Amino acid sequence: WSVKNSEALYNFEGWGAPYFLLGEECDGRVVVRPAGVCEAEIDQVEVDLYAAATAVRERLGSSGPLLFRFPDIACSQSAKLHSAFQSAALTWGLNSLHRGVLPVKCCHDASLLLSLVLAGAREGFGLEAGSKAELILSSDYSLPTPFLICNGYKDGDYVGLAVQSAALRVNTFIVIEKPSDLQYYITAVGDLPRSAHRPFLGIRVRLTTGHSGHWGPTSGDNAKFGLCAKEMIWLVASLADESMLDCLRLLHFHVGSQVSNIATFKEAMRESTQMYAELVRLGAPMGFVDVGGGLGVEYHGSQGWGGQRSTNYDMQNYANDVVAALQDTIMRTGIKPPVLVTESGRAIVSAADVLIFEVVSTEPRGAMPSFDDDSFLLQNFQSILGSMTIINQSGQQNISKIQESLNDAIQFRQEADRLFKLGIMSLEGRAEAEELFSSIRSLALDFARTIPDTNIFPTEVSLFAVEPLTWCHANLSVFRSLPDAWAIRQLFPVAPLHRLSEEPSIIVSIADLTCDSDGRIDQFIGSSGSNANAGGSLLPLHPLRVNETYLVAAFLVGAYQDSLGSRGHNLFGSPPVANLFLSGSPFHCIAQARRKTRGADV
The residues assigned a catalytic role are 515
Residue 584 burial (CB < 10 Å; 0-12/13-18/19+)? exposed
Q: What do you get for the CA distance between the two ends of the chain, in Å?
A: 46
* E strand intervals along 218-285: 248-252
- β-pairing verdict for 588-594 and 470-474: unpaired
Among residues 191, 200, 181, the alpha carbon closest in space to that of 245 is found at 200
User: What helix, strand, coil percent values describe the chain, rounded to 5?
Assistant: 40, 15, 40
C-alpha distances in Å from residue 217, one per residue of 44, 204, 214, 240, 468: 43, 17, 8, 34, 33
Distance CA 26, CA 238 (A): 68
Phi-psi region of 517 (alpha: psi -120 to 50; beta: other; left: phi over 0): alpha
Distance CA 429, CA 372 (A): 9
φ, ψ of residue 67 in degrees (nearest 5):
-105, 115
Residues sharing a CB contact under 8 Å with residue 422, sequence separation 6 or more, in sequence order: none
Among residues 544, 499, 355, the alpha carbon closest in space to that of 29 is found at 499
